Amino acid sequence: MRILCFWLAGLFMASPVFAQKKGATHAPTHTPSPAASFKQTPVSEADKKWNLYADELIQRYFKANPEAALYAGDHRYDSVLVVPSNENRDAYSQFLQTESGSLDAYDTTGLSTASLMDIAILKNEFNQQIFSLNKLTSWQWNPSEHNPCGAFSEILANRKLPSTAKLRALGIRLRNVPLYFKMAQQSLLNPTSVHTQLAVSQIKNGLIVFESELRDSLLNSKLPAAFKNRALADCQRATQAGREFVENLISRPDIGKTDFRLRPDLYERKFDYAIQTGVTAEEAYKAATARKEELHKKMYELALKILKIEGKSEQAGPKEALPLIQKAIDKISLRHCRADSFQEAIRNQIPKLTAFVRYKNLMYLDPSKPLVVRKEPDYMAGVAGASISAPGPFEKGGNTYYNVGSLAGMGDVEKELYLREYNNYTLQILNIHEAVPGHYTQLVYANKSPSLVKSIFGNGAMIEGWAVYTELMMLENGYGGNSPEMWLAYYKWNLRTACNTILDYSIHNKGMTEEEALDLLRREAFQTETEAKGKWKRATLTSVQLCSYFTGFDAIYKLREELKAKQGAAFNLKAFHERFLSYGSAPVSLIAKDMLLKP
Ligand code: ZN
Ligand code: ZN
């Protein structure tokens, strides 16, 4: 299982843990139409040869990085826990350099675009990982990178694996946990205070897998007594080692000696590797700032309509405009569902979105892959308000889940604020983004992509950018009946993506303070105190990732407009969407290059 969208997450989990729980399944209600023409079938000998090479390369990669295999759904190495030692990091770095070198030397004569894209993606991925290990060195200053618990939960929760085989693998995997924590402790040097706090809370919570979840499963298993007893003892050792790690972490004298702000040179490089839409970090920042101003203007005009204010100039300075926009947002936010019907409201909207996409002929939707709406699993509770977890490329039959946060733990005031935030309008935009035709739809296409490389190394800006793009695309096509309320809710939502980029760039490159950040988010992006504080925290724990939403969106939108201008009357929106998605989760810059070259 991989998690896709941390859109609503106040906190970003560095190594997310996953669990599957049984949820209701929607029966497909439509018969499949003939498969769309998006299959890229490799024909040439050169492509066949490349595909073989790529498959073998990925096998080597999984062997060198068993955790990557696990999250891709390849469970052959579940019993292997690689400890974070210098020796292992050096060996892995060597592996990456060797493979990257071989890719440089690979003869690309006669290769199709799809194969050339694979090569570019792999090279970028390996170089990014080399950069991360040797230059970024977050394994040194970010203790939350050293958390062995999540993978245990992931394996344990996998209902597709036979129970005994799974527990046997976990029993062996357990043996390395004490060494893992020991090596993690030795790896750390001058950790930042924010990442230390995160690690402490995540590991404290994560240890429950050894304390009870795995322990209970072992107790109830039919494993041979000797194996079982050893594994039970190892559960205890693992818990103990984790507790000691946390205690040592808290008492380190070097906490806070590294600034959580990335240095600008590191930021630029990380951005180049991760985003890949064809712009620099600074260009993305400038585009986001321009978008913010544009949105403020549009929102002001809508606010006048919604508040029924007449005779006002359509132009106003921020001092006058921003409070008025806030007032209009407050007004439309009062229309919201009840706390006890939140999940149901989401579930009911999915078929409506699907019907709209079909009715407007926006893209082909595969009816054989139902989306399962479920209450968010406990381990996610309080973290993500809504997210999609998807099967990896080797789990094609697996369910895709729409995890919806429960409001049960909230007080009345908190509940009301939450429901106003996810009012009737915003909730629809959320569902477009997460489900149809956003993340979930993109995923179904991506899993059809015959390229294992693209399935495994999905580009975040493409994935998030697509989801953000579909929000605007649906409204442009009349979803929500062009009501000022719907558009205002959308603009607020889109403004959040622009401000995410401004915030992330400013914090890591311009020394933006918490006070300045909160002012941007509260006054200019109309966010609540809670959301703004959560976003500040997330931006201190991560870097670059928050830029992927806006930057991906901006690039996809510009690509569409460029193609429209080029093709004129021949432009077809459905064909554009299907072709764009047919590349799998490839970087937008590579997709754009190909689509513009051969429209
Ligand atoms: Zn998303
Ligand atoms: Zn209310």
Q: Residue 386: which pLDDT band, with cuts at 50, 70 and 90?
A: confident
Q: What is the mean pLDDT of residues 320-327?
A: 96
Contact between 259 and 195 under an 8 Å Cβ cutoff? The reply is no
- Tens of pLDDT, residue by residue over 228-286, are 999 999 999 999 999 999 999 999 999 999 999 999 999 999 999 999 999 999 999 99
Question: Six-digit token pair at 346?
Answer: 């989401």
- Separation CA 307–CA 309 (nearest Å): 5
Cα within 13 Å of Cα(124), Cβ side = 23
Ligand 1 center from residue 536 Cα (angstroms): 18
Ligand number with the minimum distance to the CA of 402: 1
Whole-number pLDDT of residue 469: 98
Residue 378 has pLDDT above 50, yes or no: yes
Whole-number pLDDT of residue 451: 81
Ligand 2 center from residue 330 Cα (angstroms): 11
- Separation CA 119–CA 100 (nearest Å): 10
Least-confidence region, from 118-122, 380-384, 479-483, 564-568: 380-384
Helix axes 573-582, 439-448, angle to 10 degrees: 60
Q: Residue 21: which pLDDT band, with cuts at 50, 70 and 90?
A: very low
| C-beta neighbour count of 543 within 10 angstroms | 23
Distance of CA 569 to the CA centre of its chain: 36
Q: What is the mean pLDDT of residues 144-165?
A: 92
Ligand 1 center from residue 387 Cα (angstroms): 8
Contact between 217 and 232 under an 8 Å Cβ cutoff? The reply is no
Ligand 2 center from residue 20 Cα (angstroms): 33
Cα within 13 Å of Cα(415), Cβ side = 13
Question: Six-digit token pair at 185?
Answer: 């402790």
Q: For residue 221, what are the contacts with CB-CB under 8 A and spacing of at least 6?
A: 163, 164, 167, 228
Q: Residue 594: which pLDDT band, with cuts at 50, 70 and 90?
A: very high
Indicate the residue type of 416.
E
Residue 26 has pLDDT above 80, yes or no: no
Q: Which strands, in side-by-side order, build the sheet including 371-375?
A: 2-3, 386-390, 400-404, 371-375
Least-confidence region, from 2-6, 407-411, 449-453, 578-582: 2-6
Q: Residue 68: which pLDDT band, with cuts at 50, 70 and 90?
A: very high
Q: Which of 208, 203, 205 is nearest to 250 (CA)?
A: 203
- Comparing 127 with 458, the larger pLDDT belongs to 127
- Comparing 150 with 448, the larger pLDDT belongs to 150
Ligand 2 center from residue 417 Cα (angstroms): 8
Ligand 2 center from residue 336 Cα (angstroms): 6
Residue 75 has pLDDT above 50, yes or no: yes
Q: Which of 67, 9, 26, 32 is nearest to 399 (CA)?
A: 26
Whole-number pLDDT of residue 478: 98
Ligand 1 center from residue 467 Cα (angstroms): 6
Ligand 2 center from residue 406 Cα (angstroms): 17
Residue 16 has pLDDT above 70, yes or no: no
Q: Residue 3: which pLDDT band, with cuts at 50, 70 and 90?
A: low
Beta strands in 228-370 (DSSP E): none
Ligand number with the minimum distance to the CA of 469: 1
Ligand 1 center from residue 400 Cα (angstroms): 14
Ligand 2 center from residue 405 Cα (angstroms): 18
Contact between 207 and 243 under an 8 Å Cβ cutoff? The reply is yes
For 417, the 3-state DSSP assignment is helix
Ligand 2 center from residue 333 Cα (angstroms): 8
Question: Six-digit token pair at 475?
Answer: 């409204």
Ligand number with the minimum distance to the CA of 424: 2
Residue 18 has pLDDT above 60, yes or no: no
Q: For residue 588, what are the contacts with CB-CB under 8 A and spacing of at least 6?
A: 276, 277, 278, 459, 461, 462, 465, 552, 555, 556, 559
Ligand 1 center from residue 565 Cα (angstroms): 28
Ligand number with the minimum distance to the CA of 493: 1
Ligand 1 center from residue 297 Cα (angstroms): 25
Whole-number pLDDT of residue 317: 84
Q: Residue 41: which pLDDT band, with cuts at 50, 70 and 90?
A: low
Q: Residue 15: which pLDDT band, with cuts at 50, 70 and 90?
A: very low
Average pLDDT, rounded, for the chain? 89
Cα within 13 Å of Cα(361), Cβ side = 4
Residue 333 has pLDDT above 50, yes or no: yes
Q: Which of the 8 DSSP states describes residue 403? A: E
Whole-number pLDDT of residue 380: 61
- Separation CA 457–CA 558 (nearest Å): 24
Ligand number with the minimum distance to the CA of 332: 2
Q: Phi first, then psi: what are they for 107, rounded to 5°?
A: -75, 115
Ligand 2 center from residue 413 Cα (angstroms): 10
Ligand 1 center from residue 171 Cα (angstroms): 35
Whole-number pLDDT of residue 189: 97
Q: What is the mean pLDDT of residues 137-152?
A: 96
Ligand 2 center from residue 527 Cα (angstroms): 17
In angstroms, what CA-CA distances link 164 with 1, 169, 208, 335? 20, 9, 21, 51
Bridge-partner residues for 375, per DSSP? Answer: 404
Q: Residue 381: which pLDDT band, with cuts at 50, 70 and 90?
A: low
Ligand 1 center from residue 439 Cα (angstroms): 6
- Separation CA 161–CA 93 (nearest Å): 31
- Separation CA 571–CA 565 (nearest Å): 8
Ligand 2 center from residue 334 Cα (angstroms): 5
Ligand number with the minimum distance to the CA of 443: 1
Least-confidence region, from 402-406, 474-478, 537-541: 402-406
* Residue-wise burial string across 255-268, b where 16 or more C-beta atoms lie within 10 A, e elsewhere: beebebbbeeebbb
Whole-number pLDDT of residue 375: 83
Residue 35 has pLDDT above 90, yes or no: no
Whole-number pLDDT of residue 464: 95
Please, what is the Cα angle at 462 between 593 and 495, to 5 degrees? Answer: 115
Whole-number pLDDT of residue 175: 98
Whole-number pLDDT of residue 14: 26
Ligand 1 center from residue 402 Cα (angstroms): 12
- Tens of pLDDT, residue by residue over 179-204, are 999 999 999 999 999 999 999 999 99
Q: For residue 233, what are the contacts with CB-CB under 8 A and spacing of at least 6?
A: none
Q: Phi first, then psi: what are they for 255, rounded to 5°?
A: -65, 135
Ligand number with the minimum distance to the CA of 336: 2
Q: Which of 23, 19, 9 is nearest to 374 (CA)?
A: 23
- Separation CA 130–CA 127 (nearest Å): 5
Specify the long-range contacts of residues 576-582, CB closer than 8 Å, at least 24 apart.
577/362, 577/363, 577/437, 578/36, 578/37, 578/38, 578/363, 578/364, 578/445, 579/38, 580/466, 580/556, 581/38, 581/363, 581/441, 581/442, 581/445, 581/446, 581/466, 582/38, 582/39, 582/40, 582/445, 582/449
Q: Which of 51, 235, 71, 28 is nearest to 157 (CA)?
A: 71
- Separation CA 235–CA 156 (nearest Å): 14
Ligand number with the minimum distance to the CA of 330: 2
SS3 labels along 320-360: HHHHHHHHHHHHHHCCCCCHHHHHHHHHHHHHHHHHHHHHC
Q: What is the mean pLDDT of residues 79-85?
A: 98
Residue with token string 């569409």: 560
pTM as predicted: 0.89
Ligand 2 center from residue 530 Cα (angstroms): 18
Q: What is the mean pLDDT of residues 54-59?
A: 96
Whole-number pLDDT of residue 209: 96
Whole-number pLDDT of residue 367: 86
For 214, the 3-state DSSP assignment is helix
- Separation CA 540–CA 536 (nearest Å): 6
- Tens of pLDDT, residue by residue over 92-135, are 999 999 999 999 999 999 999 889 999 999 999 999 999 999 99
- Separation CA 503–CA 546 (nearest Å): 8
Q: Where are the alpha helices (DSSP H) in 393-438?
A: 412-421, 424-434
Q: Residue 377: which pLDDT band, with cuts at 50, 70 and 90?
A: confident
Whole-number pLDDT of residue 379: 60
Ligand 1 center from residue 545 Cα (angstroms): 11
Q: Provide the percentage of residues in the chain whose pLDDT is more than 90.
A: 76
Count of residues in the chain = 599
- Comparing 175 with 395, the larger pLDDT belongs to 175
Q: For residue 592, what are the contacts with CB-CB under 8 A and spacing of at least 6?
A: 278, 555, 559
